[in-house]
C-alpha cells in the first residue's frame, strides 16, 4: 500500500502562481536561492544530461535588462505596448531565475525530451519557491524568445534558449482564484 503525503498533495492541489507585478521585496538571499535551485534540479534529466542551466538576475541587472528590452523592441519595430510589456517584468522585478535550455548531443535522448526536462525545472522551481513561502511565477515574453536580446542580456550561446524566467519574491497581495481545467473533459480512459 502506498504511503500518502497529505501535506504535499494538498500543496499541489491548491498551489497558485503569483503574478510577477505583485511580488515585492524582500527576496530570498543567495543561500535560499541555491536551495530552491537544488530542489528545481531534481527533475527527470534523462541520462544525467542536465540539459539546462541557471542565470540568477537581480539588482542593477534588472534595470539593464529593462533598458535592453526597450532598445531591442525599438530595433524590431515593436509597438509601444509590446515594448512596455517586454520591459515591465524587469522594471517590476527584484529577483528572477532564467532557466536556460542547453541541449546536449545524444543518440539516446531526443532533443524534445531535453526541452521537457527544462520545462520541468521551471515548474519545479516555482513549486519549490511557493513551498518555501515565497511568491513565484514562470514568465517568458517576447524578449525571452528574441535571440539578440538573449545573447546581449543573458549571454546565451548559439543553440541555447530561454525555457522560462521564474520571478521570486514576497507575495504583495493574494491573487484571486481563477477557473481551473475541467479534467473530465480533458481525460480519456483506456482499459483495453
Model confidence pLDDT, tens digit, residues 35-90: 999 999 999 876 789 999 999 999 999 999 999 999 999 999 999 999 999 999 99
**For 22-41, what is the mean pLDDT?**
97
For the full predicted model, state whether its pTM sits above 0.85. Answer: yes
Q: What local confidence, expressed as pLDDT, does residue 162 receive?
A: 98
Do β-strands 95-101 and 161-171 pair in parallel, antiparallel, or remain unpaired? antiparallel
Closest CA to 137 of 14, 11, 23, 12: 23
Give the pLDDT band (50/70/90) at residue 176: confident
**For 173-189, what is the mean pLDDT?**
91
**What is the C-alpha to C-alpha distance for residues 162 and 156, in angstroms, rounded to an integer?**
9
Which tens digit of pLDDT belongs to each residue from 117-173?
999 999 999 999 999 999 999 999 999 999 999 999 999 999 999 999 999 999 998
Q: What local confidence, expressed as pLDDT, does residue 41 receive?
A: 96
**For 17-36, what is the mean pLDDT?**
96
Sequence-separated (6 or more) residues with CB below 8 Å from residue 51: 45, 101, 102, 103, 104, 109, 114, 115, 117, 118
In words, the CATH class of domain 17-172 is alpha beta
Helix (H, G, I), strand (E, B) or coil at 161: strand
* 112, containing H or E segment: helix 111-131
**What is the C-alpha to C-alpha distance for residues 164 and 64, in angstroms, rounded to an integer?**
19
Amino acid at each position: 500500500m502506498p504511503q500518502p503525503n497529505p501535506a504535499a498533495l494538498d500543496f499541489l492541489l491548491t498551489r497558485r502562481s503569483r503574478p510577477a507585478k505583485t511580488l515585492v521585496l524582500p527576496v530570498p538571499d543567495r543561500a535560499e536561492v541555491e536551495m530552491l535551485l537544488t530542489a528545481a534540479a531534481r527533475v527527470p534529466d534523462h541520462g544525467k544530461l542536465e540539459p539546462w542551466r541557471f542565470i540568477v538576475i537581480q539588482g542593477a541587472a534588472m534595470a539593464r535588462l529593462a533598458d535592453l528590452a526597450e532598445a531591442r523592441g525599438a530595433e524590431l519595430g515593436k509597438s509601444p505596448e509590446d515594448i512596455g510589456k517586454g520591459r515591465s517584468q524587469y522594471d517590476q522585478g527584484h529577483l528572477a531565475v532564467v532557466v536556460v535550455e542547453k541541449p546536449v548531443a545524444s543518440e539516446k535522448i531526443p532533443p524534445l525530451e531535453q526541452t521537457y526536462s527544462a520545462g520541468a525545472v521551471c515548474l519545479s522551481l516555482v513549486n519549490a519557491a511557493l513551498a518555501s513561502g515565497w511568491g513565484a511565477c514562470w514568465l517568458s515574453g517576447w524578449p525571452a524568445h528574441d535571440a539578440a536580446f538573449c545573447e546581449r542580456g543573458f549571454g546565451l550561446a548559439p543553440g541555447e534558449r530561454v525555457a522560462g524566467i521564474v520571478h521570486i519574491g514576497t507575495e504583495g497581495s493574494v491573487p484571486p482564484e481563477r477557473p481551473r481545467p475541467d479534467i473530465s473533459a480533458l481525460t480519456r480512459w483506456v482499459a483495453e
